[in-house]
Amino acid sequence: MRELEPLKRCRPKPVAARVLRLLLERRDAGLEIDPWLPFPQKHCCFSFGPQKGPVPVGALFLLWSAGPPYVQTCPDCKATAYMTSFGGLLSDGGGHLICPACGGMWYQFLGGLGRVADWLKASPLMGTVFEPMGMVFGAAFCSDGGALRALLGVAEPPDEEEGVSFRIVNGPAFSVDLGFEKVPPGMEA
């Protein structure tokens, strides 16, 4: 793969950073974690495993073991930042990294959505139960991470996401930027 571009700053994600910090502490303490628990995010254009669900923590653990681009140094505090979602459009795609130390969120450009898929196809996920099984364009496989947040004792709801909402006069409302949420069968709230 090619050299990575510098990280771009996004809005801080304090709740996601807390979930990530507690998840890593739990893993490092050797405590049980269901690897299929989805991480809270609204940016991932890929589904994982036979259930084609949102990005599970087991997949993230495998990706993080591969190093960059999935794990990088936080530009603000120099701690380790971890990629928790990935996706994009035709010419702009990448991943969002969260720093569990300072709560910063960063965007790593990797290329278009096809290039992001290439990164995942070259990752340690291939040949495992966490292999990417689906990809959507202009949408995301989202999760509020409710079960993971409950396991970790995080009562706060997920961080607010960027986006712009519009209402057509006498018509339906829709959101731009995050696309439409795709909920896999059997994963409905």
pLDDT at 166 over 60: no
DSSP letters, the chain, are -PPPPPPEEE---HHHHHHHHHHHHHHHTT----TTPBPSBS---EEETTTTBSPBHHHHHHHHHT-TTTEEE-TTT-SEEEEEEEEE-SS-EEEEEE-TTT--EEEEEEESHHHHHHHHHTSTTTTSTT-EEEE-SSEEE-B--HHHHHHHT--SPPPPPP-EEEE-TTS-EEEESS-EEE--TT---
- Given this model, what pLDDT does residue 161 score? 67
Q: What is the pLDDT of residue 89?
A: 87
Could you tell me if residue 95 is inside a domain? yes
For the segment 54-66, the average pLDDT, to the nearest whole number, is 97
* pLDDT over 80 at 169, yes or no: no
Is pLDDT at 173 greater than 50 in this prediction?
no
Domains of the chain: total: 1
Q: Which two tokens stand for residue 159?
A: 């961080």
Residue 60 lies in a domain: yes
pLDDT of residue 139: 83
Q: What pLDDT does residue 2 have?
A: 65
Q: For residue 1, tell me if it sits in a domain.
A: no
Is 77 inside a domain boundary?
Answer: yes
Residue 188 lies in a domain: no
Chain-centre distance of CA 49, in angstroms? Answer: 15
Tell whether the model's pLDDT for residue 1 goes beyond 70. no
Does residue 16 sit within a domain?
A: yes
So what's the pLDDT on residue 160? 81
More confident residue, 137 or 61: 61
Among 13-27, 53-67, 123-137, 172-186, whose mean pLDDT is lowest?
172-186
User: What pLDDT does 181 receive?
Assistant: 42
Q: Is there a domain that residue 187 lies in?
A: no
Q: Which domain holds residue 148?
A: 8-182
Mean pLDDT, residues 12-25 taken together: 97
The answer as to whether 3 is a domain residue is no
The answer to whether the CB of 185 falls within 8 A of the CB of 53 is no
